[in-house]
Amino acid sequence: MNTATKLSGFALGLVAVFGAAYGIGNLADPVAPAAETRHDDTDSDHGAGDTGHGDESQAGGASAHLPGGLLVSERGYTFQPADAPAGQFAFRITGPDGAPVTRFEVAHDKRMHLIVARRDLSGFRHVHPEMAGDGTWRVASPLGGPGVWRAFADFTPEGGEPLTLGLDVTVPGELTARPLPAPATSTTVDGYTVTLTGTPEPGRTNRLTLSVSRDGRPVTDLAPYLGAYGHLVALRQGDLAYLHVHPEGTPGDGRTPAGPAITFAAEVPSAGAYRLYLDFRHGDAVHTAEFTVLAGDRTAPAPAAPASTTAPTPDAGHGTPGHGHS
Ligand SMILES: [Cu+2]
């Protein structure tokens, strides 16, 4: 495979890197976006990476390529909350003309993916709102309790490029801050054990493999969910920069097994702590397995709960973060 050649090109910019998540390797994903979505910075960021290792070229000047989800408004599109009755969450995406957008491309089976996580990285949910004719999206509220939540609208405007906008939403009430769980390579959810191999290193594409078992036996009959055997979202601690990563291979392509392993190609935009959320389907149910991973400098201080939280939250029972992964 000439995957490495492709990767060196993709690594030239963060936007391009995230684009690679959709089209990595020889996966012919029909919704694969063009890697370049913006041309408002120097042209030298693009197109020169096919001949060698371009990893260093962005080190000093990547500010124009932000990870997804950090902005509430980008490229003329704005994520606006809308009034909703109790128990519902509603919003609109307005376009460059200021009017609500009503035409979206289908990407991974849906026109709109709404992901939420509380700012302390707890409470992750991935849901699919329904759009009314006026461009208002509504869904049963996925916000699981008091606190400040980050909502991510992950969509593709018709004829446009994929975009993820982020919006803070406050749920009133008494907040119990939760420290970030320590890095781990295995977790359990709903009776399944999910094991992570691979470590993300900034500045390169990393292969992450998540293997699913139940009762000690590998699960080999995962069901396709949104056109894949797994969906992986990574959120960076500190600013909740958003990476949505899709696996290598697609169900039914004749070479991608239905488990136990789901392999992703991912690149993280910096060193630091990330929370990974794997959505997978087995039978009729969708499960979400969560991991904390550390990228980059593992001699750095261990991640802690955000310093501004009011409650001191000693990391009792979580061991020593920062050196726990192989
Ligand atoms: Cu979705």
Residue linked to tokens 């929370």: 275
Residue linked to tokens 């055997």: 229
CA of 127 to the centre of ligand 1 (A): 6
Dihedral angle over CA of 28, 207, 239, 86, nearest 10: 60
What does the pLDDT read at residue 89?
Answer: 98
314: left (phi over 0), alpha (psi -120 to 50) or beta: beta
Q: Which residues make up the environment of ion ligand 1, defined by Cβ < 5 Å?
A: 113
CA of 124 to the centre of ligand 1 (A): 12
Give the integer Cα–Cα distance in Å for 22 and 28: 9
pLDDT tens for 179-229 read 999 999 999 999 999 999 998 999 889 999 999 999 999 999 999 999 999
CA of 59 to the centre of ligand 1 (A): 32
Residue 49 has pLDDT above 50, yes or no: no
CA of 110 to the centre of ligand 1 (A): 7
What does the pLDDT read at residue 4?
Answer: 40
CA of 246 to the centre of ligand 1 (A): 11
CA of 201 to the centre of ligand 1 (A): 26
Q: What is the largest CA-CA distance in the chain?
A: 56
315 neighbors 301 (Cβ within 8 angstroms): no
Residue type, 18: F
What does the pLDDT read at residue 64?
Answer: 54
CA distances from 287 to 125, 146, 194, 233, 277 (A): 10, 23, 11, 13, 10
CA of 225 to the centre of ligand 1 (A): 9
CA of 140 to the centre of ligand 1 (A): 15
CB atoms within 10 A of CB 267: 25
CA of 129 to the centre of ligand 1 (A): 9
Give the integer Cα–Cα distance in Å for 111 and 124: 20
CA of 164 to the centre of ligand 1 (A): 12
Residues 140-167 have a mean pLDDT of 96
CA of 322 to the centre of ligand 1 (A): 31
CA of 113 to the centre of ligand 1 (A): 4
CA of 304 to the centre of ligand 1 (A): 29
CA of 272 to the centre of ligand 1 (A): 26
pLDDT tens for 74-84 read 999 999 999 99
What does the pLDDT read at residue 65?
Answer: 76
287 class by beta-carbon count within 10 Å (0-12 exposed, 13-18 middle, 19+ buried): middle
pTM (predicted TM-score): 0.74
Give the integer Cα–Cα distance in Å for 257 and 251: 8
CA of 276 to the centre of ligand 1 (A): 15
CA of 151 to the centre of ligand 1 (A): 13
Give the integer Cα–Cα distance in Å for 127 and 105: 17
Give the integer Cα–Cα distance in Å for 229 and 224: 5
Residue 120 has pLDDT above 80, yes or no: yes
127 class by beta-carbon count within 10 Å (0-12 exposed, 13-18 middle, 19+ buried): middle
CA of 193 to the centre of ligand 1 (A): 23
CA of 141 to the centre of ligand 1 (A): 15
Q: What is the DSSP string of 32-69?
A: PPPS----SS-GGGSS--SSS--GGGGTTTGGGSPPBT
300 neighbors 322 (Cβ within 8 angstroms): yes
